[in-house]
Every structure is written in structure tokens, then in C-alpha cells.
Chains A and B, each alone.
Chain A
Amino acid sequence: MKVTRREFFKLTGLAALTAAVVGCDWDEDPILSQPLTDAKEVTTICPYCSCGCGAICYVANGKLVSVSGDPDHPINEGALCSKGASLLNLNTVYNFRTHNAEINPNRLTKVLYRAPYSKVWEEKNWRWAMDKIAKRVKETRDASFEAQADGVTVNRTMAIAHLGSAALDNEENYLLAKLMRSLGIVNLDHHARL
């Protein structure tokens, strides 16, 4: 583009005028783009204590963007304590230096197995892990099962204990208790027994 001396001065003046006008503050509220309106809502239960507060996970483009209390849930009515309010951080954390969202690096996404007396964790697949658990349960139960104790029929194994979870719902807990009882396990407990 060829600019003559006259045009150059005209443009400079125009630019200065524009700067004088545009440089002024706009009387507008700042709006952050929080894409919650477009996000899909998925309800969940807080996995921490046994209160079982309801939470809503907001999913946009297949990614978890926010978690908040579920206002329709009868237990917490939209509120969450500090542990519940940090649910998002189980998945996403904000980098201290770059302020960017990234997947929590401490989150386990694969089955890890440490053999007895070993110092290293090995990555295994779910199929292997389920088979291993079933095999060990059967071995332990067969070895420790007692039909009678002090002349009373007990049909139990004292060698296995089961720890439930607050993250499970009523039906899952019912099925788990049923399974454990049928195996003869009497040591049932819960990880959030208050």
C-alpha cells in the first residue's frame, strides 16, 4: 500500500481520535465464559463420608468442567462441605504455575499390583485382577472355613473381612452384603463409619 504524506497525517489523526474514544472505560459488567449452560448434567453421590450428599457433574464436550451440590437432593439440598466441594479435583487440578486445568496426575487409571514382599507396582488389566481376587478368595475361604465352633453350627470364615463404601448406593451395598454373607464372611464394615 502506497501512503502519501498527506494520507499518513490523516490516518494518524484518525488513529489518535479512535484511541481517545475507544480508550475510555466501557460501562459493562465483566462476564466470564463459564460454559455451564451448555454442559450436560450428570448426578452422582459424594464418595466421602456416609451422609451421601448428592452432587451434579457438569460435562461439556466429554470433559468434566465443574461439580456442585445437587439442589434437588433431599440430603444436602445443594450444599457441600469442603471435601465434597473438592470433588472436581479428583479428576482435574489447576497447575500452580501455569494456571491451566490438567488431569490430576495422582489419579489411578490402571490396575496396579504389588506382589507379596515386592517393592514395585506392576500394571495389570482388569481381567487378570478379577481372576486373581476370585482365586484368592476361594483359596482363603476353603482353607479357613469352619462349619462348627464350640458345638454350634456357624458356617463362617474369619480370615476375610469386607470394607464397604459410601460411594455405593443402597442396592449395590445390599448386593455386596448378600455376597459376603453367602461366602460366610462375618467381618463386614464400612470405610466411613461415623
Chain B
Amino acid sequence: MANVVLVDTQKCMACRGCQVACKDWNRLPAGATKFRGNYTNPPTLQAHTWNHVVFTETDKGRWLFASYSCMHCTDAACINVCPVGAVQRTKSGTVWPDGDKCIGCGLCVQHCPFHVPQVSKATNKMGKCTGCAERVSQGLRPACVTTCPNGALLYGERGEMMQLAKDRVDALRRQGFSEASIYGDLEMHGLGRIYVLTEIPSAYGLPETPGYNASAWIWQLARRPLGTLTSIGLFSGLVVGFLRWRGERIQHKDNYSI
């Protein structure tokens, strides 16, 4: 994974610019929402909302903001469990949902530890952040990073971003945030979205030890070759049948008159 997004939660002012820029660039429709007692709106990611800002109020009365979207895990559950290979890894390292192949089975929804993929009821396709693969491949930064007014979202080479994150954590510790930490270095073998947190990850709604059920992956590993074997079997059967028919035809040439 070459490039990652660095989310500096302490710099975020929760303007939701990333949320809107994402919708704007990816041409996602807006939907009516309700107030549910929390400023996080919509409360979860949706098939047509790929990025949202999560608001959490701590016991100390401090607000925690985090721009939340697909983590583009190195060991991505969605890629491994998809029965039709509709979720793919792009060359830029992001996890891309292929709407043409998706059958809307919802396995990725079940197994993602971050609850990122969602299946649209209208189109029956999974929708999630694409990491702006088409922007990135043309040398642009993702839409959310481009629009961020405070530099809370940064985009760059993984090692560089990790160094920046470490410097930020050191600075935050000096400012008195003793729980300041980096999230995304080792989780899921490295996330494509690194967070600088001032509290423990669960305070931000992030799982402390993300992971997924390996049995689902093993089942898919077994199921995929079965599909391949079936098509090979069909094809070889056809060839054998043809050869046999041809042999018969040569033997009784007079019986066939085509």
C-alpha cells in the first residue's frame, strides 16, 4: 500500500466538508435524515454515504470528531469473503467495489469490522468509499482530503504519514493527552487510513482489536475453485463429446449426410 490518508482528529472541527465533498465528487444522492440524539448524521455509513463525521462526547465534556470512511485494510475482509470477486484491490492499494459484479449478498457487510460496506436497497449493490481511485490515478488527492480546511485530513506516502502521525502524537502527549496514540499501523495488517487519536480507540467508536471471522474466508477459498472446476468440467466434457462424435462419424461415414 503506497499512499494512505492521515486523519488528525485533534485538528478536525467537524465541518463535514469531507462528507459533502465525497457526495459531490462521487455523485451520490442526498437522503432525508432524522435527528437521533447525536450529531453524527447519518448515524451509519450508507450505500450512498461513503464518508461521515462521527461525533462523540466524552464524560469530561470534550467532543471527539473523526472523519470516518473505508479503511482500505491490507488484510481486507470484504475482498476475502466476496463470493464473486466483486471487491478488488486496485494498483494504488485501495479497495474497490465493482458494481457490475456485485450480487448484493451482503457478506462483506457482515464481516467488515468497521461496518463500512452497505448494500443499497434501491440497486441491490454494495456501495462504499473507493479511495477516489480515479482521482488518485490521475495525480489528484482524494476529494475529502482536498476539501479539508484545517489539514485534519492529509494524503501521502505511508512512511511519511506514519512519521507525521508519530510527531503529532508526541506533540499531543506533551500537551497533556496521555492517551494519544496512532490507530491503523498494525490493525488488519495496516490500514489505508491512519488516525491520530487523543483518547482510546473505542472512545471514537473504533474497534480496539479489529478482525473478522476466518471461517468465512476459508469457505470462500473452497467455493471459488469449485466454480472454476465446474466450468473446466463442462468444457472438457464438450471436447470429449465432440471427439467421440467425430470418431463415430468417421466410422459410419455413409450414415451421415450433411
Contact = CB atoms under 8 A, between A and B. Distances in A.
The answer to whether A and B interact is yes
A56 to B, nearest CB: 11
**Which interface class (under 10, 10 to 19, 20 to 34, 35 or more) fits B?**
35 or more
Interface string A3-42: 0111001001100110110010100011110100100000
B137 A31 contact: yes
A34 B20 contact: no
Interface string B48-85: 00000000000000000000000000000000000001
B22 to A, nearest CB: 9
A174 interface: no
Instruction: Give 3 nearest A-B pairs by CB, closest first.
Output: A79-B149, A85-B20, A32-B134
Interface in A53-94: 66-69, 76, 78-86, 88-89, 93-94
Given A12-B238, A79-B149, A94 B30 contact: yes
A9 B17 CA distance: 60
A101 B27 contact: yes
A79 B21 CA distance: 10
B209 interface: no
Contacts of B232: 20
Residues of A in contact with B, size category = 35 or more
Interface string B142-174: 010011111000000000000000000000000
A88 B15 CA distance: 18
A88 B30 CA distance: 13
Contact of A96 (B30, B90, B134): B30
B122 A97 contact: yes
A82 B20 contact: yes
Interface string A113-147: 00000000000000000000000000000000000
A95 interface: yes
Given A30-B98, A32-B134, A79-B150, 12 more contacts: A13-B239, A20-B231, A20-B235, A29-B91, A29-B137, A30-B134, A31-B133, A69-B147, A76-B149, A78-B147, A82-B20, A86-B20
B28 A94 contact: yes
B181 interface: no
Contact of B21 (A12, A80, A95): A80
B224 to A, nearest CB: 11
Nearest to B235: A16
Contacts of A76: 149
Given A68-B147, A78-B146, A85-B20, A25 B25 contact: no
Given A13-B239, A20-B235, A30-B98, A79 B147 contact: yes
Interface string B16-36: 110111001101111100000
17 contacts: A4-B258, A5-B258, A9-B245, A12-B238, A13-B242, A16-B234, A23-B231, A66-B24, A67-B24, A68-B143, A68-B146, A81-B149, A82-B17, A82-B20, A89-B24, A94-B29, A96-B29
